[in-house]
């Protein structure tokens, strides 16, 4: 067999990872995280014929026990006779499998259980008392608590637990499950309609969101009047499987589809997570976003930086996600709380009093407690304001109190302020933000900025956006109609004659009689004197011989001088001398030895 060497210059070769054997190191790394033995989450390619167990049999070591769809989505749960690195790597070779990951174990974000003193400092710090002068909640907005279940018989919660007005169905582990009218929610572990809490964590979270307020007993939730939908996927020890988490989210989306206004789920409270990431969970959160549901996630309790060590689903990139850190009574970041610029805001999460099992009360700490504080605030806002998920999220993030303890520790550097958020959404206003607000291009190129126009206090519908400050030779225009709470692009074009420099454009939103502005920074770089391409970017060269790689130069801006091409990062044993393309010439050949 002849041996060949490949010389590669100034280009990157990409190849699909799907349908090829998974790198053993990656497979081993995936399996180090806790997971259900011999279970995998898989997604088949869209063009694939409806799969069955036989189709994956040759890739599983001959031991497929079961293959079934998860919920109403595109993922499947595969149970094999044995698990391990070799099976995972072999399954990745299946030509119709687009994605595969182990069925990871997910755990709650609880860190401590302190004596219950009956002190609710958290809502006071977040100015909930002032917010209650504007609203105390509604049963028209549903908050799904996806957790260990909820003690729906608790005397401080019973009145605020959602009850099915008529029968409904959801997709369980073994098929469609039918639930009778009056059912309180879903148990994704047992595929039943009884989401009773056997741990306490979910009941505690539910009480922070919506324990009955002003009733002369117990504690008061952020939203005194609420509609809480319990969904259980975590067991009595506070852990659960990724597959059950997917079913839990899917059941929430399906319940909303079936009931409409009778189960208007607008918020999911998710006080759990794990290190790493998951494409299948990302997809489920995206489905919740499509259903106009805010997904509030706990940042995690390992005092880690989420910018460098991912915590999921807190680090999900979906636009409906809000990641929450925990703060203490002094507005400092809690000692256990994760942080980072991928965490959006902080909320009280130390020694938080709330409901617990068997009609009791308890004081717990964790980002698990901070998360339902934000979820409850979202529900309270929706009881008095009309807002889609993007606007709701923006109201909460734009209304935080900036505190030194969160400076540089979260995206906003602030702690939840419920009063300011409800005032912001209840008071007529216009808002305009850009993501990102700065772009760098070369003269002659075009770029675009994504703007999010918004309004509060009943300012809804459409508006106009005007762009000013563009220098001569630069044009800026809004692409399409302007609808509040819907992203729109500003397209900017330059010419080759546009001078290099930094320019500030001003975008002005006018909605009704209200205005908002944002500054768009455009950094223009000079046109390069020449561009370089390899007309044959890869060459097959027989070992021990020489070969050539053709290159071409395109000069610009009146440049006529010589250009020297210097090969770099060559493999050991391969050499190539610099090539000079003289003035007046546009091509040359690199000689590779």
The length of the chain is: 593
> Which residue, 437, 305, 298, 307, is CA-closest to 370?
298
Please list, residue by residue across 192-217, b when 16 or more beta carbons sit within 10 angstroms of its beta carbon and e when fewer do. Answer: ebebbbebbbbbbbbbbbbbbbeeee
Cα dihedral 384, 271, 247, 236 sign:
negative
Integer CA distances (angstroms), 465 to 104, 478, 516, in order: 46, 7, 9
What are the tokens at 101? 């990951």
> Which residue, 175, 506, 202, 157, is CA-closest to 359?
157
Residue pointed to by tokens 């790597």: 89
What are the tokens at 562? 């010589």
Residue pointed to by tokens 């007529």: 428
CA separation for the pair 150, 190 (Å, rounded): 15
Give Cα 90 distance to the centre of its chain.
30
Residue 527 DSSP symbol: P
Give the list of residues 6+ apart from residue 171 with CB closer than 8 angstroms, or none.
69, 70, 71, 72, 177, 247, 250, 251, 254
Integer CA distances (angstroms), 516 to 431, 434, 500, in order: 5, 12, 29
> Which residue, 563, 502, 476, is CA-closest to 528?
563
Rg (CA), the chain: 28
Phi-psi sector, 24: left (phi>0), alpha (psi -120 to 50), beta: alpha
What are the tokens at 92? 């990745």
- Name the catalytic one among 35, 60, 92, 147: 147
Rounded to a whole number, what is the distance in angstroms from the first to the last CA of the chain? 21
The CA angle 565-566-567, to the nearest 5 degrees, is: 120
Side-chain-side CA neighbours of residue 49 (13 Å):
5
Give the list of residues 6+ apart from residue 140 with CB closer than 8 angstroms, or none.
227, 261, 264, 383
Please list, residue by residue across 550-583, b when 16 or more beta carbons sit within 10 angstroms of its beta carbon and e when fewer do. Answer: ebebebeeeeeeebebebeeeeeeeebeebebee
Cα dihedral 147, 349, 263, 163 sign:
positive
CA separation for the pair 274, 310 (Å, rounded): 9
- Name the catalytic one among 35, 76, 94, 201: 201
Is residue 201 part of the annotated active site? The answer reads yes
What are the tokens at 229? 């939908």
- Name the catalytic one among 227, 368, 429, 433: 368
CA separation for the pair 535, 540 (Å, rounded): 14
What are the tokens at 179? 């639930």
Task: Give burial (CB, 10 Å; 0-12/13-18/19+) of 294.
Answer: buried
Residues designated catalytic:
147, 201, 368
């Amino acid at each position: 067999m002849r041996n060949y060497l490949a010389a590669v210059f100034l280009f990157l070769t990409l190849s699909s990872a799907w349908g090829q054997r998974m790198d053993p190191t990656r497979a081993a790394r995936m399996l180090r995280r806790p997971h259900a033995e011999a279970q995998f989450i898989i997604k088949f390619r869209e063009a694939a014929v409806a799969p069955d167990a036989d189709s994956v049999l040759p890739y599983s070591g001959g031991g497929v026990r079961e293959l079934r769809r998860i919920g109403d989505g595109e993922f499947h749960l595969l149970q094999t006779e044995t698990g391990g690195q070799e099976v995972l790597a072999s399954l990745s070779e299946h030509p119709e499998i687009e994605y595969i990951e182990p069925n990871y174990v997910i755990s709650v974000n609880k860190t401590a259980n302190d004596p219950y003193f009956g002190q609710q400092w958290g809502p006071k710090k977040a100015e909930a008392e002032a917010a209650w002068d504007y609203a105390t909640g509604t049963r028209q907005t549903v908050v799904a608590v996806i957790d260990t279940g909820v003690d729906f018989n608790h005397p401080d919660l019973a009145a605020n637990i959602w009850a099915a007005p008529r029968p409904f169905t959801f997709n369980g582990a073994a098929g469609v499950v039918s639930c009778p009218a009056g059912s309180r929610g879903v148990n994704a572990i047992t595929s039943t309609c009884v989401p009773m809490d056997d741990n306490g964590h979910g009941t505690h979270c539910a009480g922070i969101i919506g324990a009955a307020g002003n009733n002369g007993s117990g504690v008061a939730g952020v939203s005194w009047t609420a509609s809480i939908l319990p969904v259980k996927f975590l067991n009595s020890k506070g852990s659960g499987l990724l597959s059950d988490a997917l079913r839990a989210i899917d059941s929430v989306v399906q319940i909303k589809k079936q009931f409409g206004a009778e189960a208007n789920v607008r918020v999911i409270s998710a006080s759990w997570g794990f290190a790493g990431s998951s494409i299948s969970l990302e997809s489920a959160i995206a489905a919740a976003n499509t259903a106009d549901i805010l997904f509030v996630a706990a940042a995690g309790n390992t005092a880690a930086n989420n910018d460098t060590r991912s915590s999921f689903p807190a680090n999900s990139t979906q636009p409906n996600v809000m990641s929450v850190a925990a703060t203490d009574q002094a507005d400092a970041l809690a000692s256990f709380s994760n942080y980072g610029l991928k965490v959006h805001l902080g909320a009280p999460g130390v020694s938080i009093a709330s409901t617990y099992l068997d009609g009791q009360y308890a004081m717990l700490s964790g980002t698990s407690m901070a998360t339902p504080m934000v979820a409850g605030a979202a529900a309270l806002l929706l009881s008095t304001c009309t807002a889609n998920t993007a606007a709701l999220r923006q109201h909460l993030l734009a209304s935080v109190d900036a505190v030194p303890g969160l400076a540089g520790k979260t995206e906003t550097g602030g702690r939840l302020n419920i009063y300011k958020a409800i005032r912001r959404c209840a008071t007529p206003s216009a808002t305009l933000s850009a993501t990102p607000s700065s772009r760098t291009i070369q003269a002659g190129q075009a770029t675009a900025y994504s703007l999010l126009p918004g309004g509060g206090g009943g300012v809804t519908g459409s508006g106009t956006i005007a762009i000013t400050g563009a220098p001569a030779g630069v044009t800026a225009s809004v692409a399409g109609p302007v609808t509040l709470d819907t992203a729109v692009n500003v397209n900017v074009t330059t010419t080759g004659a546009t001078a290099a420099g930094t320019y500030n454009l001003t975008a002005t939103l006018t909605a009704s009689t209200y205005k908002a502005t944002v500054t768009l920074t455009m950094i223009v770089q000079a046109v390069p004197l020449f561009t370089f391409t390899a007309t044959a970017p890869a060459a097959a060269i027989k070992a021990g011989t020489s070969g050539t790689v053709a290159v071409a130069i395109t000069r610009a801006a009146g440049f006529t001088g010589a250009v020297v091409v210097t090969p770099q990062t060559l493999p050991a044993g391969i050499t190539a001398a610099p090539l000079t393309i003289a003035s007046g010439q546009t091509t040359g050949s690199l000689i590779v030895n």
